[in-house]
Structure 1
């Protein structure tokens, strides 16, 4: 029997992109998936897609920066289903103006609140029930910049995504004796609406060569389906055509001279 059959998954940031792809992949594997996020319309679209294919999914409108609301959402899932087997913390953002010169205190606080505090709120709301059952998987969606900071990411995004890596390893240090495990997934560029937040989004021919959300959905499922004695501590995944490794285009090189 599939290891995820009859399990319960909570995905923050589940209304679009990587979170939505993870929801589809885990529901296909037999899990009941609760997707949370700020936009009800997007959440309902994901839930509808899963239900149309015979899966089980629910929506919970939630802003992960609201810690009491995160605790209430976790409590509601536990009351309805009795357990949370897998938490996927996928909520995240970056800003169009992200350099030190343009990043104001409010922007910095917003990045930290969503990317780092939001994940921590969900973890803290979920851990007690996982410890009690001595079973649980926590998957944190970081970024390529979680391992290799790049100028394009900006200081706020770079810092918060690297902090998620430390958070995941800290979970494994403290909770492995309780039967819990954490994995930090660090994807390179993924063809999602997230890329439109850049001042200069990749052109269509380059977008077609990037990772796709479903690639990450399969990665999330791979981690969640590992038997309980296996911990995949981290995954660094990128497009084969990795723009971080390629030389700059001739026009860009000429402009930098």
Structure 2
């Protein structure tokens, strides 16, 4: 099977990540090796994960991918969270909107040498997909790629939550209840999931403004491929508000994670690699 083509700009990232994974595999006997791949929206982390999985599989290394996007709580669960805690929790994405126990179940099953179903989330219907269409990771899985925008993130200090960071927080979360609950969730059960990561890799955007540009590009591409009335299509104004849900933690990750990630791939605004840094 030939390696699928990827953008030339992504090749250095793919090579660096593969090398780091192979090195980690050679130094551990624990299976699966859990590789955390963190990157802001539009950074190319999902494409990179797919290309890496294909390359490892071709080399005889059984690999599975679990996206944090596939761990979203069901629509009904988020509706309850929105009623009980804050209306902003109806929008999936921030800590508190994921079923962390489900992710831990996948890892624990693989650690015990069992086959396990890989959950899937249907974004078009904003709900968890039925189990009949879930994927599967075999008992012999050697590498689990855990990818997502906040993988490996750590909570902020409570003092950092006091002032709103954007218009969404100022107008819709003036008392800080939403961001406070999300930060508490990140400090709690999310850390149990992230503690299972053996190798943490960060695709680092140059700044948050670039992230908004990347996400806008994605939405414009989507508009060209689906009917205007298709579910989930957003106007530029709606998209800007949506991305504001992620701004606080994205900025925090870009500031805090580079110093502790095992591998940092710094990108420019065109997603070209500026620098690759390994933890010494």
Q: What is the TM-score with the length of structure 2 in the denominator? A: 0.33
Q: Give the number of the structure with larger relative contact order, counting CA–CA contacts within 8 Å between residues 6 or more apart.
A: 2
Q: What is the TM-score with the length of structure 1 in the denominator? A: 0.36
